[in-house]
């Protein structure tokens, strides 16, 4: 997928598209998968 800085989770047919957005600067977005669902979370720093 092209270059996009918007974080998103999108269901596409039988799959899921996950875009983390940006992660080089804080706050950074990351994904967590618990074996059943995925969620986007934000890391603010320590």
Helix (H, G, I), strand (E, B) or coil at 11: strand
Instruction: Calculate what percentage of the chain has a pLDDT beyond 90.
Output: 41
Q: Is residue 39 very low, low, confident or very high in pLDDT (cuts 50, 70, 90)?
A: very high
Contact present, 28 and 41 (Cβ < 8 Å): no
Assess whether pLDDT exceeds 90 at residue 13.
yes
Domain ranges across the chain: 8-43
Look over the chain and give the mean of its residue pLDDT values, rounded to a whole number: 87
What is the structure's pLDDT at 2?
58
CA distance 38 to 26: 21
CA distance 18 to 41: 12
CA distance 35 to 44: 25
pLDDT in tens, 19-38: 988 877 888 899 999 999 88
Phi and psi at residue 22, to the nearest 5°: -110, 155
């Amino acid at each position: 997928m092209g270059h996009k800085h918007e974080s998103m989770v999108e269901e596409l047919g039988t799959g899921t598209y996950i875009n983390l957005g940006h992660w080089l600067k804080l706050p950074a977005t990351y994904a967590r998968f618990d074996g059943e669902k995925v969620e986007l979370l934000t890391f603010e720093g320590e």
